[in-house]
Each structure stands twice: as structure tokens, then as C-alpha cells.
Structure 1
């Protein structure tokens, strides 16, 4: 499993409430839902590196 780096994120309370509801609807944690959303956005934008590519 890839190593994860923790960080703090500030969200509007209404936005957080919506994410928490969405996460519960899909049986994910709030953190897992945020990872899912970010991962999907990065893939859709073509900004996620493919496996095996270096960071250089």
C-alpha cells in the first residue's frame, strides 16, 4: 500500500456536511470519500501520474 501523508484541510461546514452524507451513502469514511473525490478529479483532468512514472 502506498504511503500516505497527512495534512489539514479547512472546509465550509455545509460542504463538510454534504461530504459526510455522501460518504455515508457510499459506505466510506469521510476521509476515504475525500480521497475518492480528489483521485477522480485528478484522473478526469489528466493530472494523475500513471504507475511506474517517476516524479522527475
Structure 2
């Protein structure tokens, strides 16, 4: 696959997480897909920079309150 091609993958998100990402994407003038790609890119960039993930608690269940 060439570098300029994008790989499609199925992704399942909880409704709460999807809604939070969708709101964030709207704030940043991105699509939900674009926001997810941006967030993943930033996480990979951070890991390459210091060898750590963004959070030590990355694998803990997400507890989000939606108003």
C-alpha cells in the first residue's frame, strides 16, 4: 500500500465516547473520522517523542458524564 493511501478499519465506540469525540471534532472543525485520525496521530507522535503513551491509565474504562 502506498503512503498516500489510507487503510480502512472497522471501529466500535461506545455511544458516550462517540458523542464526546463528535463534539470535540465539531469544536475543531473536523469530521469525526478526521478527529479520530488526528488524536491517534498525536498519540503516536507523543509515544515516539518520549517512549510513553499519553496516559498511564489509557486502558482503564472511560468514565464520561454527558450533560
TM class by shorter chain equals 0.7 to 0.9
SS of aligned partner of 1:40 = helix
Is there any run of 5+ residues in structure 1 with no aligned partner, and where?
Answer: 48-56
Is there any run of 5+ residues in structure 2 with no aligned partner, and where?
Answer: 50-67
Aligned length: 47
- Name the structure 2 match of 1:24: 26
**Greater RCO between the two (CA within 8 Å, min separation 6)?**
2
- Name the structure 2 match of 1:9: 11
**TM-score between both structures, scaled by the size of structure 1:** 0.79
**TM-score between both structures, scaled by the size of structure 2:** 0.66
> C-alpha root-mean-square deviation of aligned residues, in Å?
1.5
| Runs of 4+ off more than 4 Å | none
Instruction: Work out whether 1:39 is the aligned partner of 2:41.
Output: yes
